[in-house]
Amino acid sequence: MTNFIHKPVLAKECIEGLNIKASGIYVDGTLGGGGHAAAILQKLDDNGLLIGIDRDAAAISAAKDKLVGNFRLVRDRHENIKEILKESPPIDGFLLDLGVSSHQLDTAERGFSYRYDAPLDMRMDEDSQLTAYDIVNSYPEKELSSIIKRYGEERYAKRIARAIRKMDKPVKTTFELAQIVRDAIPGYNPGHPEARTFQAIRIAVNNELTELSQTITDMTELLKPGGRICIISFHSLEDRIVKQAFKYWSDPCECPRNIPYCVCETKARLKLISKKPIRPSSQELNDNPRAHSAKLRIAERCI
């Protein structure tokens, strides 16, 4: 059995938010360690179904050994959810737990974490071609800077990209990259200032944000009236996309604001269950420090 240890973030809040029907069909679009999927399955009877999706072969393998109940696993990206579910009846609930899994972070050779010295990789799908090594060592300085700025919200992106390009040999490991980043950032930097750059490169390697808005649109269309979507994000870029998508589908009217009433007759498809994001409790933060930046947003299909 694959040693895929995982503490599902905001698990209780997700289960409550999904408002699970025992015979319903639920989709975990980011299976990861299977913690959320297992919690959903506990609420389902023999007529219920859990569909788990993940691009990581290790996650799929571990879930086959771990999960108990009526489930179907698909190795794919959640961006392809419309194709994956094209023959499925309407769905009762979707869950996305965005970002990198604990298993990926803690498997040193995957190269996700600055805490372990490992080759620069960061691929969620190990069959994909692009790696962190490719981006760090072959992208032009301007493009590398743009990635670090856009996806890491790093104010010193230009300095970091310039420092990487000044190296007289390829940057091969996570420790090498982390040291370059720390040296490029001026002043005293407590904690792990390299975290923003690692996040940025990981997002670029895995193309994590490009299709997220479309995925939410597809889930909304596939959702049964009364069904719910729960999405956990871990940084402001993800959360902004989720917030904007939920806001649009809860108020899709495109009429000019200066006219007194709606003439486009575009009806809302979602209603917001959580107008503000739900955050982990102090108890959960004590038990699982990795949950500290998690935000859960919930919406329900209304028509």
Residue 4 lies in a domain: no
In sequence order, the 6+-apart residues with CB closer than 8 A to the CB of 138 are none
Listed residues 206, 230, 262: the one ending a domain: 206
Do 242 and 292 belong to one domain?
Answer: yes
Residue 240 lies in a domain: yes
Is residue 189 scored above 70 in pLDDT?
yes
* CA distance readout (Å), 239 to 87, 146, 159, 258, 292: 30, 20, 27, 30, 14
What is the phi/psi pair of residue 147, to 5°?
Answer: -65, -45
Looking at the chain, the whole-number percentage of residues with pLDDT higher than 70 is 95
Amino acid at position 139, single letter: Y
Is residue 2 scored above 50 in pLDDT?
no
Listed residues 189, 206, 223: the one ending a domain: 206
Is residue 188 scored above 90 in pLDDT?
no
Do 86 and 130 belong to one domain?
Answer: no
Token pair in block for residue 221: 């269309």
Neighbours of 222 (CB within 10 A): 22
Label residue 187 by pLDDT band (50, 70, 90).
Answer: confident
Do 228 and 179 belong to one domain?
Answer: no
Residue 224 lies in a domain: yes
Handedness of CA 242, 243, 244, 247 (dihedral sign): positive
Do 269 and 126 belong to one domain?
Answer: no
Label residue 262 by pLDDT band (50, 70, 90).
Answer: low
Do 186 and 217 belong to one domain?
Answer: no
Do 178 and 95 belong to one domain?
Answer: no
Domain hosting residue 52, numbered range:
11-99+212-301
Residue 5 lies in a domain: no
Q: What is the CATH number of the domain that holds 66?
A: 3.40.50.150
**Using CA atoms, how far apart are residues 24 and 267, in angstroms rounded to an integer?**
26
Do 60 and 89 belong to one domain?
Answer: yes
Comparing 166 with 262, the larger pLDDT belongs to 166
Residue 1 lies in a domain: no
Listed residues 172, 206, 240: the one ending a domain: 206
Residue 2 lies in a domain: no
Residue 293 lies in a domain: yes
Do 216 and 200 belong to one domain?
Answer: no
Beta pairing partners, 26: 50, 93
Total of domains in the chain: 2
Q: What is the CATH number of the domain that holds 197?
A: 1.10.150.170
pLDDT in tens, 49-79: 999 999 999 999 999 999 999 999 999 999 9
Do 19 and 144 belong to one domain?
Answer: no
Residue 6 lies in a domain: no
Is residue 245 scored above 50 in pLDDT?
yes
pLDDT in tens, 76-102: 999 999 999 999 999 999 999 998 888
Do 181 and 244 belong to one domain?
Answer: no
**Is residue 140 exposed (0-12), middle (13-18) or buried (19+ Cβ within 10 Å)?**
exposed
Do 90 and 220 belong to one domain?
Answer: yes
Starting at the edge strand found earlier in the chain, the sheet holding 223-233 runs 71-75, 49-54, 25-28, 91-97, 223-233, 295-301, 270-272
